[in-house]
Structure 1
Amino acid sequence: MQMLTKIPKQFYYFLAVIFILNLLQSSFTQLIFDEAYYWYYSQNMAWGYFDHPPMVALLVKISSFFFNGELGVRFMSCILSAVNIILLWLMIDNPKKNDYIKHFFVLVFSMTLLNAYGFFTLPDTPLLFFTSCFLLTYKHFIKNPTWGLAIIMGVFMAALMYSKYHAVLVIFFVLLSNLKLTTSKYAWLAVIVALCCYVPHFYWLYENDFVSIKYHLYERPNGAYSFEKYTLGFFVNLVAIFGLTFPFVYKALFKTKGNDLFNKALIYLTYGVLIFFFVSSFNRRVQTQWIIIVCIPVIVIAFNYMLNNKQALTWIFRLGLVNTVLIIYLRIGLAYQPLLFNFYYESHGNKEWAKAIEDEVGDIPVVFENSYRNAPMYAFYTNGTPTFSLNNFMYRKNQYSINDAEEQVRGKDVAYVSKYLNNPTFTYTRESGGLYKGKYISNFQSYRKLDCIIENDEVTLNTDEPLTLKVYNPYKEDIDLKKLKFAITYMDDYKHPLETLRIHPKTTQNTITRLKKQDTTVFKFQLPKTKKENIGYFRVVISENDLLYGLNGKPISVK
């Protein structure tokens, strides 16, 4: 508390302006799709979700206690971003800093994505905040380790991991910068506290068959390596996160030496994350937000460098002001699309298309084919209308694959929205160019949780050997086999579908006509012959009631 009272009033004036700006932005900007998805998380709080740990859902839930609408999703992000700026300021020890408050705020505000996460509610929002909490605690810990600081640091380590799995990089590279921590009883206490706090999420992962880990490590679709899209794209991201100030920001990083343990931690964290994702760029496209975590240590490094280098101070301030003007323009454009001329971002028009579909279908549930984005967005802007994302073999699994959303629409009369419809009953075209095609289905029945299990890790392509298929029915009702069609989807090395061929599995008992509820039925089948080349995987898929085939089996490698 004493540290806060030493902060000049001018600092709080700048902070208040940014906080109010973020509140206004939050109120007048429609949700982006990921925010709607995380709002959907928050409607059923849990210790984990398909794609991410639960911290982002908790932020949305807390925000909803204070406000409705968009601000009811983003309020806590505005709070965290304001506090985060204070934490960053407290990490800087230079006695000259109080004379350069406006320079500090220009540096912070000019960082593009850090600016956006001042109001957007995404997993990176708490990740950035708890990184600052962790680093500031670590700064005090290395000066005077105590049991109390160890416990606090352990809590922040757990909070980091509850925010996003990438947080493991923060913890690892800070540890790597000071290997003597491995012999510190206080550091080990911090680790034990973190693990104890994280037990609920570990248990959730166990209960859900480690679905998040499997998806991120093994099942996430990828593409063939492209230097332009992957590695060159990574370097473009390095520029994008800092905008016009990037030459001087990186110069500050290169010039800064790890003369003490805290600066060494900042340097290791920055270089470690950048090198990790540079190497990753040879395997997959690195998204810009994946490297945003380096903004936290770089702000401290760059501002300390500015205070000791007049040229850097002048140029970062000037270029930062240009960044700031551009960012304010773009932020207004997020809320008011005509300012961006013909450019439509995902924060534009969502309320309008949701209302148009609602006017057409009324208050009946809506099933969106292959869209964990549209389903929650529609639910948000229609005050919680039941929705479901029916994921087929051309898409990927998501939160709708593991929760009870399917049960909320089963047996109901629904509006079915899919780009694959040939004869839609109704259509709606978004101003951005997206087309929604829909029809009505009475007594909607889907069984997307049917689990097809093949215990082979690898199978020979075009083999004549029969394979064993186990189908687990998790539902509380028997399922008539006549309602189901089985097929094999062949995929390339990057798990993109190439061909889907029908199969006719046989049971050992020809009298079996139904999949027994919450039971496993064993079949035999042969892989259908294919002339497709470059096949890397196959999966068993099921179509129920003539819907498009689902994602029922895991990818099996072929040779």
Structure 2
Amino acid sequence: MLETKRTPQQILLVFLGVWTLINIIQAAFVEVHADEAYYWVYSRFLDWGYFDHPPMVALFIKIGDALIPSTLGLRLLTVLSSTASVYLLWKMLSRYGKHIKLFILLFGSVVLFHVYGFITTPDAPLFFFTVLFLYLYQRYAEEDKFKWAFLLALVIAGMLYSKYHGILVVFFTILSNFKLLKRPSFWFIVLIAAAAFVPHIWWQIQNNYPSFYYHVIDRSSAYYKFSFTTEYLLAQLALAGPLVGWYMYRQSFRLKADDAFIRALKFNCFGIFIFFLISTLKGRVEAHWTLPAMIGLFMLSYIAMLRFNLPKWFEKLAMVNIFLVILVRLVLIFPVDALMRIKVVSYYFGNKAWAQEIQKKAGDAPVIFMDSFQVPSRYNYYMHSTKGFSYDSRHYRKNQYDIWPLEDSIRNKRAYFVLQYPLEGLGRIDTIQTDKGLFYGAWIDKVRMYQKLNISLEAVPDSWEKGSVKELQLKISNPYRESITMGNAGAKWKCYLEYGFKLGPDLGEFKAVGTDLEPITIGAGQSVLVKARLTAPLVPGKYKLLFSVRTDPFSGARNSSMIPVEIR
């Protein structure tokens, strides 16, 4: 019997099976990334929003973890949605030509597609909903029908609930086709998508817009480094495919936008790349933020390579590219001693054993870590608890640990304090030897911690001369369900109210606010006004002023926003 040639659809099904199997193996056997552990803790506190991101990633993890409580479960919906995305991509691109081999070579070359084939961060649901958005938009651009409009509205909400970057996909799609504004169904999409997103907006209002403050203000750098831009550009070349990415960019740029869908792909691809390129002027841009643009790049390069003559060398180079990516994926499963010195590789090994060593010392008590939302999350994941807590100092950034009720549960309780360096004043200090390095631990008999106290200035000085002293009025608000005493009479762990100025990347020296703390008691949910004396820096400039409540043995929290002040 003669063998029949396999159709593109049959080859696609084989590829989908292989892709799913590879991702399942990777998901089951690669230890969780610390960010994934952080989002796993999200899933323990389901809500309409979180400090860093919208809630879709928490829902992905919650569902998968409920079905299969394991590392595979944490990543299950990412694996399944990745496979569904591949199928939808083929459905869109096969309209322009059914070259399944080219499709597989290009898809397999894009590094980011491998990462979000199993790693569960907000980018995983964003990947799926962006592909689904493009699939529906391709049909909506051709047919102005209610069903496409309604489904698009829901998917847009899904993108926004995945990651705020989803708004860029919507913006550049509209920019590519202003005729959409004339459709009544377009405004129906806007209305439904906005209504679906209201619960998250309400969460932001209730929590004083933490995501806006972090992403727009706190994350912006006060200085620029040329390396921000060069690193971004090199990363985009590497993530598109270390060997063939440059050619994909070239061919995509050459492709003419001769229909509404290709025009939307070009606007999204190059628009998002340029948007984040400009963003490097404000600070460091994470390389994976361009994931929606990578989807556009892949699709554009496929269509372009169908239309232009594909050079003979490309297939061989793409296969080498895929081999290198798969090799890296294997290294994350099977440890190679020679590569364990590389931080990116060693990061994925020894995490469970590390958590177990700390738990041997701490038992069932709460464990406090310093300046990391990732480390306590990794401890929480492997102990399957929420006992790990992050004390976020004024030199670190705020995160979801500043919102969760975990701090409230350990105040005035006995807790185990874990550090990567010995700290004086803690009494007996344990040394904890782990595969992740040497750690130090000590017991705090009665934790005194006021990370959630909020301090604001009643009035910011209009004119402030260098070295001069100002008497200002502070408003200190207590969000806790219990009264707070800032005085130190009879207290083992002392409390201090301090301030510091930031000029450039680093905070300067912190000084005590000139006021007596002994009489200050703030009732639950109440505020007090306090007079304080502050001395301006000796060097003129545009500073950011920060207030901090420091309680021993900790190093002081961020208890105010970064308040802009100009010293003359």
Are the aligned partners of 2:365 and 2:415 in contact in 1 as well (CA < 8 Å)? yes
Are the aligned partners of 2:219 and 2:283 in contact in 1 as well (CA < 8 Å)? no
Separation (CA, whole Å) in 1 of partners of 2:97 and 2:290: 30
Paired residues for 1:432-443 under 5 Å? 434-443=437-446
Alpha-carbon shift at residue 523 of structure 1 (Å): 0.6
Separation (CA, whole Å) in 2 of partners of 1:169 and 1:545: 45
1:95–1:289 distance in 2 versus 1, CA, 3 Å: closer
Separation (CA, whole Å) in 2 of partners of 1:101 and 1:323: 18
Are the aligned partners of 2:377 and 2:388 in contact in 1 as well (CA < 8 Å)? yes
- Give structure 1 regions of 4+ aligned residues with deviation exceeding 6 angstroms: none
Are the aligned partners of 1:78 and 1:118 in contact in 2 as well (CA < 8 Å)? yes
1:458–1:327 distance in 2 versus 1, CA, 3 Å: farther
Q: Which residue is 1:525 aligned to?
A: 532
Match of 2:475 among 453, 470, 475: 470
Letter aligned with residue 517 of structure 1:
A
Alpha-carbon shift at residue 135 of structure 1 (Å): 0.8
Q: Which residue is 1:488 aligned to?
A: 499
Q: Does 1:320 align with 2:321?
A: no
Q: Which residue is 1:370 aligned to?
A: 371
Q: Does 1:454 align with 2:457?
A: yes
Aligned CA RMSD, in angstroms, stands at 2.0
1:357–1:91 distance in 2 versus 1, CA, 3 Å: same
Letter aligned with residue 250 of structure 2:
K
Separation (CA, whole Å) in 2 of partners of 1:378 and 1:497: 29
1:381–1:533 distance in 2 versus 1, CA, 3 Å: farther
Alpha-carbon shift at residue 399 of structure 1 (Å): 0.2
1:413–1:539 distance in 2 versus 1, CA, 3 Å: same
Separation (CA, whole Å) in 2 of partners of 1:513 and 1:33: 39
Letter aligned with residue 37 of structure 1:
Y
Identity %: 31
Paired residues for 1:329-340 under 5 Å? 329-338=327-336, 340=339
Paired residues for 1:102-141 under 5 Å? 102-141=101-140
Alpha-carbon shift at residue 359 of structure 1 (Å): 1.7
1:302–1:457 distance in 2 versus 1, CA, 3 Å: farther
Q: Equivalent residue of 2:549, what SS?
A: strand
Q: Does 1:382 align with 2:378?
A: no
Q: Which residue is 1:396 aligned to?
A: 397
Q: Which residue is 1:255 aligned to?
A: 254
Are the aligned partners of 1:230 and 1:281 in contact in 2 as well (CA < 8 Å)? yes
Are the aligned partners of 1:491 and 1:499 in contact in 2 as well (CA < 8 Å)? no
Are the aligned partners of 2:353 and 2:435 in contact in 1 as well (CA < 8 Å)? no
**What TM-score does the superposition give when structure 1 sets the normalisation length?**
0.93
1:491–1:501 distance in 2 versus 1, CA, 3 Å: same
Are the aligned partners of 1:131 and 1:160 in contact in 2 as well (CA < 8 Å)? yes
Q: Deviations 1:9-30 (Å, cap 9, x if unpaired)?
A: 2211111011011001011000
Alpha-carbon shift at residue 430 of structure 1 (Å): 4.5
Are the aligned partners of 2:422 and 2:429 in contact in 1 as well (CA < 8 Å)? no
Separation (CA, whole Å) in 2 of partners of 1:294 and 1:221: 22
1:142–1:20 distance in 2 versus 1, CA, 3 Å: same
1:187–1:290 distance in 2 versus 1, CA, 3 Å: same
**What TM-score does the superposition give when structure 2 sets the normalisation length?**
0.92
Separation (CA, whole Å) in 2 of partners of 1:476 and 1:11: 58
Paired residues for 1:199-278 under 5 Å? 199-220=198-219, 222=221, 224-227=223-226, 229-242=227-240, 243-278=242-277
Alpha-carbon shift at residue 338 of structure 1 (Å): 1.8
Q: Which residue is 1:505 aligned to?
A: 515
Match of 1:551 among 530, 547, 558: 558
1:301–1:464 distance in 2 versus 1, CA, 3 Å: same
Alpha-carbon shift at residue 428 of structure 1 (Å): 3.0
Alpha-carbon shift at residue 363 of structure 1 (Å): 2.0
1:8–1:372 distance in 2 versus 1, CA, 3 Å: same
Letter aligned with residue 448 of structure 1:
Q
Q: 5+ unaligned residues in a row in structure 2: which ranges?
A: 1-6, 489-494
Q: Deviations 1:125-162 (Å, cap 9, x if unpaired)?
A: 11111111111111100111111111111111111111
